[in-house]
């Protein structure tokens, strides 16, 4: 099976595509994959690191603030479609899998024109412009939340698959992970704001570290993000924190940390939310307000709706609300168990298998 993948810009679009490629590779002996991306996104690093080839196109998203700049975008779109047709003609894919981001648009159009079956996957609750615009060019829209069906006109083309979660995350076991991390029996809280960090979360975590250390009720792993680490290190150097508090720039064994955690405090990007759901982790979600169409809050509310998390908006976030949220949930086993049980309603641990079945189906059309 030869599959062409497209999705670029952020890890939220690229990592799902890589996870899908890895899964299909495990199921198909003669699997070949090729990715299409731009030279400005994370795909330039993540795709080759995963062992896949990638071709590049020059495309940008539409400018919502300055419409005059979109003349250049339309020109690039036309050129990109032509380049995509050349790539498709050379690679000869059996199917195309799109995971969002503006790079998916010209690929969807080119594949449709050349009669190549395609699917597009939406990670968030609210579908992006690319997904909405591509619906006429693909066979199916794969959605991660049932709520997404409320925002798509052609519901007959939708398949609920869930978000592809890395098998490394799915297979991680709590007790084994806690042992590997050298944790005690105290509740373990994991805090992170993404690979780059989240300024508002970091500021407030720093303000409560001393209190949490003196309480000595929990163990804490705090991932600051690479760009904030040195500054935070300077801010805490005189705090004399307990050994139960660990602060790192980047959590490179996230599968162990997530599995071991009793409580997760994080942003509510689609993949993070899906990993929390699959692992059944009680969480305090702090949506980023700086994203298009406020999709992080919608992701978090989807979990909150079934009682599976606590949502703390940035407008509500301060050292007292954060301290109270962490302290109350980390030390309330009943509340944790209730959230973990509620997460079963939204978790899709077999998302990769569901996606693979749809891809297999369209290659036989």
Structure tokens at 176: 């084994």
User: Rounded to whole angstroms, how far apart are CA atoms 194 and 287?
Assistant: 12
247 bridge partner residues = 222
Neighbour tally for 333: CB within 10 Å? 12
54 bridge partner residues = 35
Q: Cβ distance 130 to 100 under 8 Å?
A: yes
Kindly tell me the number of DSSP H helices and DSSP E strands found in the chain. Answer: 15, 13
User: Rounded to whole angstroms, how far apart are CA atoms 280 and 258?
Assistant: 10
Question: What local confidence, expressed as pLDDT, does residue 266 receive?
Answer: 97
Length of the chain: 365
Helix (H) or strand (E) holding 96: strand 95-98
Place of tokens 């162990």: 256
Structure tokens at 294: 């406020």
Question: What local confidence, expressed as pLDDT, does residue 196 receive?
Answer: 58
Question: What local confidence, expressed as pLDDT, does residue 74 receive?
Answer: 62
Structure tokens at 171: 């297979």
Q: What is the pLDDT along the chain (365 residues), one digit of tens a residue?
A: 999 999 877 777 898 999 999 999 999 999 999 999 999 888 999 999 999 999 999 876 655 555 456 556 666 677 889 999 999 999 999 999 999 888 999 999 999 999 999 999 999 999 988 898 899 999 999 999 999 999 998 899 999 999 999 888 999 999 999 999 999 999 999 999 876 568 899 999 999 999 999 999 999 999 998 888 999 999 998 898 999 999 999 998 999 999 999 999 999 999 999 999 999 999 999 999 988 778 999 999 999 999 999 999 999 999 999 999 999 999 999 999 999 999 999 999 999 999 999 999 999 86
Q: What are the C-alpha distances in Å from 160 to residues 53, 149, 346, 360?
A: 29, 9, 11, 16
Q: Report if pTM > 0.85.
A: yes
Domains of the chain: 2-164+350-363 (3.40.50.2000), 168-345 (3.40.50.2000)
């Amino acid at each position: 099976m030869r599959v062409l993948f497209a999705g670029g810009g952020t890890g939220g679009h690229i990592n799902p595509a890589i996870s899908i490629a890895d899964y299909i590779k495990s199921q198909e002996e003669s699997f070949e994959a090729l990715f299409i991306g731009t030279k400005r996104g994370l795909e330039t690093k993540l795709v080759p690191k995963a062992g896949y080839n990638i071709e590049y196109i020059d495309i940008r998203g539409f400018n919502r603030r300055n419409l005059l700049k979109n003349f250049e975008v339309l020109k690039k779109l036309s050129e990109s479609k032509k380049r995509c047709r050349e790539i498709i003609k050379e690679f000869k894919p059996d199917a195309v899998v799109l995971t969002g981001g503006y790079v998916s648009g010209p690929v969807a159009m080119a594949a449709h024109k050349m009669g190549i079956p395609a699917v597009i996957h939406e990670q968030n609750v609210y579908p992006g412009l690319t997904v909405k615009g591509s619906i006429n060019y693909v066979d199916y829209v794969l959605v991660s939340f049932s709520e997404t069906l409320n925002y798509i006109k052609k519901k007959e083309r939708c398949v609920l698959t869930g978000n592809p979660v890395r098998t490394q995350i799915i297979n991680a076991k709590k007790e084994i992970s806690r042992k590997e991390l050298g944790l005690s029996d105290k509740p373990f809280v994991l805090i992170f704001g993404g690979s780059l960090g989240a300024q508002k979360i970091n500021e407030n975590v720093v303000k409560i570290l001393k209190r949490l250390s003196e309480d000595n009720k929990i163990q804490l792993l705090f991932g600051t993000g690479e760009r904030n680490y040195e500054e935070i290190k300077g801010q805490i150097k005189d705090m004399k924190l307990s050994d139960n508090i660990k602060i790192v720039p980047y959590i490179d064994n996230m599968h162990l940390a997530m599995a071991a955690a009793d409580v997760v405090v994080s942003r509510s990007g689609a993949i993070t939310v899906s990993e929390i759901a699959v692992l059944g982790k009680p969480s305090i979600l702090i949506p980023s307000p700086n994203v298009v169409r406020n999709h992080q809050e919608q992701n978090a509310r989807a979990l909150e709706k079934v009682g599976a998390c606590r949502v703390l908006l940035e407008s509500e976030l301060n050292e007292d609300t954060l301290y109270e949220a962490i302290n109350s949930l980390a030390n309330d086993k009943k509340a944790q168990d209730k959230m973990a049980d509620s997460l079963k309603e939204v978790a899709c641990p077999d998302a990769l298998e569901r996606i693979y079945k749809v891809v297999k189906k369209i290659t036989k059309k």
